[in-house]
Amino acid sequence: MKGPGLPSVIASVLGVVALSHILVGLFGRDIPAVMASFFKGAEEIVMLGVIFVFVLAWMRRIQPRRRGGPYAIVAFDVFGRETAVEGIRTHFRSRDVALSFARQYRRMHPLHNFAVLTDVGEARRTIIRYV
């Protein structure tokens, strides 16, 4: 039996050498160059994105979010039950005014506690501050 001829061995060796040269050039030069150029541009985009997110968070932090809306004051007695105190104003359009009145009522009526809450409706009332 005769083995493969010399020309077929040389062709196989040249094919392997050519393929390995192409793969070394591709994985050693071309792909890293493309990846480096991509990540160099992506680095700037990522940094700008981080800066943008930081600025948005900072702007949101420094700007107080006080909605103008209906606020109410509710009085509680010494047992913690909701009571009605005669002669006090209970509905307000501003949170700051409602808090100010609640503090004033607390000084005027020491046996009662007062809560400022959003006056959206009976089902969605939330206590903002308990004075």
Domain ranges in the chain are 1-63, 71-130
CB 129 within 8 A of CB 113: no
Within 13 Å, how many C-alpha atoms sit on residue 100's CB side?
6
CB 128 within 8 A of CB 120: no
Percent of the chain with pLDDT over 70: 90
Measured between alpha carbons, how far is 19 from 23 in angstroms, rounded to an integer? 6
pLDDT digits (tens, 9 = 90+) for 24-56: 888 888 888 888 887 777 778 888 899 999 999
- pLDDT for the residue numbered 38: 77
The pTM (predicted TM-score) of the whole model is: 0.48
The token pair that represents 14 in the structure block: 């040249």
Measured between alpha carbons, how far is 23 from 26 in angstroms, rounded to an integer? 5
Measured between alpha carbons, how far is 35 from 25 in angstroms, rounded to an integer? 14
